[in-house]
Amino acid sequence: MPPYKDFPITSVCGADLESIGFDTGGVDDATMKELAEKMADDYCDQLFWSSLEILADYLNIPKRTGSL
């Protein structure tokens, strides 16, 4: 597997906002893009690395041995 091949994690849409009670009638694509960017930043800052390690262990992805 190429080490830098990207695999999408998730997306966000107006229906997601509506499902938690927000009115998206006046929300444009630029606002949704900004929301998605802020969510991605927040996820990377808070959960990405810990979730990556936990889930890779769960899937039995072996860790390297020795030095890099």
Q: pTM, whole model, 2 decimals?
A: 0.77
| pLDDT digit string, tens, across residues 13-33 | 999 999 999 999 999 999 999
Average pLDDT, the chain: 94
**CA 42/CA 26 separation, integer angstroms:** 24
**CA 26/CA 45 separation, integer angstroms:** 29
What residue segments make up the domains of the chain, in order of their start? Answer: 14-58
For the chain, the first-to-last Cα distance in angstroms comes to: 18
CA 35 to chain centre: 12
pLDDT at 68 over 80: no
**CA 17/CA 12 separation, integer angstroms:** 8
